[in-house]
């Protein structure tokens, strides 16, 4: 569907390349503004239903669901404000889980911790796949 726009976006990035430089999987094109979603950790850990590509074995850090590296390094995000929505807060048990507990998570615990959460998109099987793919030394 073709949509009309009222004006083009202003380029606020200028010569900044922090997101490009910080992306561990090189998902953002070197000239910016183009994202290869098939390389993006968010796509890989949420949307991809197949096995994770071995090429990314040492590039994903400890991201088991999604990734915000590009958002974290963007200087424009210093103007963002924390949300005030209690429904967006993580389940309290999530914050105290150890690496071992994550790797031993059961389907029942997954359902309890992620009820109503976007993490359900990857399903228990996908989360286990992601956890098993990560470097076990990541804590």
Rounded mean pLDDT, 41-70: 94
User: How far, in Å, CA of 87 to CA of 116, rounded?
Assistant: 9
pLDDT band at 122 (very low <50, low <70, confident <90, very high): very high
Q: What size, in residues, is the chain?
A: 139
Instruction: Give residue-wise pLDDT tens across range 56-106.
Output: 988 998 899 999 999 999 999 999 999 999 888 888 899 899 989 999 999
Residue 108 has pLDDT above 90, yes or no: yes
**Per-residue model confidence (pLDDT) at position 139:** 46
Instruction: Give residue-wise pLDDT tens across range 110-121.
Output: 999 999 899 999
- Indicate the SS3 state at residue 102: helix
**Per-residue model confidence (pLDDT) at position 110:** 96
Q: What Rg do the C-alpha atoms of the chain give, in angstroms?
A: 17
């Amino acid at each position: 569907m073709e949509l009309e726009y009222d004006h083009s976006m202003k380029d606020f990035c200028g010569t900044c390349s922090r997101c490009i430089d910080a992306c561990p999987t090189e998902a953002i094109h070197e000239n910016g503004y183009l994202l290869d979603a098939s390389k993006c950790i968010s796509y890989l850990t949420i949307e991809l239903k197949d096995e994770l590509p071995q090429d990314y074995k040492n590039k994903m850090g400890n991201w088991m669901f999604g990734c915000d590296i590009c958002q974290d390094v963007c200087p424009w995000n210093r103007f963002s404000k924390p949300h005030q929505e209690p429904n967006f807060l993580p389940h309290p048990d999530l914050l105290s889980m150890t690496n071992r507990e994550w790797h031993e998570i059961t389907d029942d615990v997954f359902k309890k911790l992620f009820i109503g959460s976007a993490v359900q998109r990857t399903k228990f099987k996908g989360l286990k796949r992601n956890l098993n793919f990560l470097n076990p030394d990541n804590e």
